[in-house]
């Protein structure tokens, strides 16, 4: 079996906001594989890199997944950035999809078989006020979720003082805790918006009585020592990793055990096998795995195959497949009673509905620039 070509699809499901970037790799035996790339806003650049990788792939055996990954990663000589790593991750997923279909097995069975029968998931809660957050949290829990996530910060936090932000954050989290009870896990995403570790510690200390499941990205990833400082001063488990690539990018974080939970994103950190390698390294330090995934149903399927195989898996970020999301793939991963179910179909177990994709054409998108009250640039 040989690769004969590839296609890309840039899809904007809402007519605004992020695009979804897909690759489909074709073979001479009619077997096709799909993958999803991380979107940075430089989505046309990611698409171009995917097609550039096609120059290497065409004419070669698609089942040599590690071989092709090494060729594309090592041949650059210099470290790859977000655009190239997103492209490489998408290609790797598509090659696994083809390989699973070639051997008539789900990808997780090719990776050692499942460690679990289902995958616990959490989803996002939104709301500007504590009351809105609480109402939406209650609605999501009624859908079967046993864990939820939201940002503790109030709207316009960049224009408020530290004490006001912490006070309002406590009110937001307490409102949710009061309505969902003690048995629903509350995950909090700091989004790395705090430059000062001491302010992140103040926030964590204020929220500890509300028993968060984890605090994500209390500081940015560039300085592992700063993250370790926060971790050492709070009882809330610390999670991070969505902005890191490959096992090499995670090395210092894991070696210093600067977090409790690693959050690699399979559609940018290097793909399925690389995520499992990161999880394995984390396992040696007694750190758990909670993959990052605010993306499409294709990324969800990719994550589920990783989660099935990682002994130290904790929980999976998941956006429910409702509305447009349910149209993008012909058979989304099933969600029941707080868990995602493992697909039984070969490969990734999902198939793009290409007739639908054309109804949601690409639109340029850029992440917002955060401007603080004094006119300087803030973190987002």
**Can you give the residue ranges of every domain in the chain?**
3-106, 109-348
**Rounded Cα–Cα distance for residues 162 and 149 (Å):** 22
Average pLDDT over residues 39-47: 94
Answer with the residue of higher pLDDT: 323 or 238.
238
Average pLDDT over residues 358-375: 86
Q: Is the pLDDT of residue 161 over 80?
A: yes
Q: Is the pLDDT of residue 345 over 90?
A: yes
**Which of the residues are catalytic?**
191, 292
pLDDT interval class at 160 (50, 70, 90): confident
- For 25, residues 6+ apart whose C-beta sits below 8 A from its C-beta are 3, 5, 6, 32, 33, 34, 35, 57, 62, 91, 94, 95, 98
Q: Among candidates 54, 43, 35, 60, which has minimal Cα distance to 271?
A: 35
- For 164, residues 6+ apart whose C-beta sits below 8 A from its C-beta are none
Question: pTM to 2 decimals?
Answer: 0.96
> What pLDDT does 367 receive?
81
**Rounded Cα–Cα distance for residues 209 and 244 (Å):** 30
Question: What distance separates the 2 farthest-apart alpha carbons in the chain?
Answer: 63
For 85-119, letters b (16+ CB in 10 Å) and e give bbbbbbbbbbbbbbbbbbeebbbbbbbeebeeebb
Q: Is the pLDDT of residue 379 over 80?
A: no
> What pLDDT does 142 receive?
97
Average pLDDT over residues 71-75: 96
Q: Is 337 within 8 Å of 346 (Cβ atoms)? A: no
Q: Is the pLDDT of residue 156 over 90?
A: no
Q: Is the pLDDT of residue 194 over 80?
A: no
Average pLDDT over residues 242-261: 97
User: Which secondary structure element, helix H or strand E, spans residue 261, and what is its range?
Assistant: strand 261-262
Q: Is the pLDDT of residue 288 over 80?
A: yes
Q: Is the pLDDT of residue 107 over 80?
A: yes
Half-sphere CA count of 245, side-chain side, radius 13 A: 16
pLDDT interval class at 148 (50, 70, 90): very high
Q: Among candidates 161, 242, 262, which has minimal Cα distance to 202?
A: 161
User: Which secondary structure element, helix H or strand E, spans residue 186, and what is its range?
Assistant: strand 185-189
Average pLDDT over residues 241-247: 97
Alpha helices in the chain (DSSP H): 43-57, 65-74, 82-102, 107-110, 130-142, 162-180, 197-207, 224-232, 246-255, 272-283, 297-309, 325-328, 354-357
Q: Do the bridges between strand 3-11 and strand 20-27 make them parallel or antiparallel, or are there none, so unpaired?
A: antiparallel
Average pLDDT over residues 77-104: 97
> What pLDDT does 17 receive?
87
Q: Is 130 within 8 Å of 167 (Cβ atoms)? A: no
Q: Is 148 within 8 Å of 142 (Cβ atoms)? A: no
* CATH code 1.10.3720.10 for 109-348: no
What are the φ/ψ torsions at residue 377 (nearest 5 degrees)?
-85, 130
Q: Is 288 within 8 Å of 314 (Cβ atoms)? A: yes
For 305-315, letters b (16+ CB in 10 Å) and e give bbbbbbebbbb
pLDDT interval class at 196 (50, 70, 90): confident
Q: Give the tokens for residue 234.
A: 């709070």
> What pLDDT does 377 receive?
82
pLDDT interval class at 341 (50, 70, 90): very high
**Rounded Cα–Cα distance for residues 300 and 11 (Å):** 16
- The structural architecture, per CATH, of the domain 3-106 is 2-Layer Sandwich (3.30)
> What pLDDT does 63 receive?
98
pLDDT interval class at 221 (50, 70, 90): confident
Planar angle of CA 111, 117, 121, nearest 5 degrees: 100
């Amino acid at each position: 079996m040989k690769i004969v070509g590839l296609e890309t699809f840039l899809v904007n499901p809402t007519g605004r906001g992020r695009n979804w970037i897909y690759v489909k790799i074709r073979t001479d035996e009619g077997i096709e594989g799909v993958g999803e790339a991380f979107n940075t806003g430089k989505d046309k650049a990611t698409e171009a890199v995917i097609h550039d990788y096609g120059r290497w792939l065409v004419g070669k055996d698609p089942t040599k997944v590690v071989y092709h990954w090494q060729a594309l990663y090592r041949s650059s000589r210099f470290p790859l950035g977000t655009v190239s790593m997103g492209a490489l991750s998408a290609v790797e997923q598509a090659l696994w999809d083809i390989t699973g279909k070639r051997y008539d097995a789900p990808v997780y069975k090719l990776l050692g078989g499942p460690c679990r029968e289902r995958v616990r998931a959490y989803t996002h809660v939104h709301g500007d006020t504590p009351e809105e957050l609480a109402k939406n949290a209650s609605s999501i829990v009624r859908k079967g979720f046993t864990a939820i996530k939201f940002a503790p910060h109030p709207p316009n936090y960049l224009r408020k003082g530290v004490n006001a932000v912490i006070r309002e954050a406590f009110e937001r989290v307490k409102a949710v805790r009061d309505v969902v009870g003690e048995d629903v896990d509350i995950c909090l995403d700091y989004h790395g918006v705090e430059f000062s570790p001491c302010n992140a510690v103040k926030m964590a200390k204020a929220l500890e009585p509300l028993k968060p499941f984890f605090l994500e990205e209390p500081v940015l990833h560039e300085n592992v020592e700063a993250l370790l400082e926060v971790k050492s001063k709070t009882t809330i488990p610390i999670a991070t990793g969505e902005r890191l690539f490959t096992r090499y990018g995670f090395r210092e974080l894991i070696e210093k055990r600067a977090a409790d939970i690693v959050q690699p994103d399979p559609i940018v950190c290097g793909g399925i096998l690389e995520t499992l390698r990161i999880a394995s390294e984390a396992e040696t330090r007694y750190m758990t795995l909670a993959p990052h995934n605010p993306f499409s149903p294709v990324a969800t399927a990719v994550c589920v195959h990783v989660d099935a195989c990682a002994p130290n898996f904790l929980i999976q970020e998941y956006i429910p497949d409702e509305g447009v999301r349910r149209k993008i793939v012909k058979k989304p991963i099933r969600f029941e009673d707080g868990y995602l179910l493992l697909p039984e179909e070969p490969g990734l177990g999902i198939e793009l509905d290409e007739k639908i994709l054309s109804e949601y054409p690409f639109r340029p998108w850029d992440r917002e620039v955060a401007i603080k009250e004094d006119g300087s640039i803030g973190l987002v």
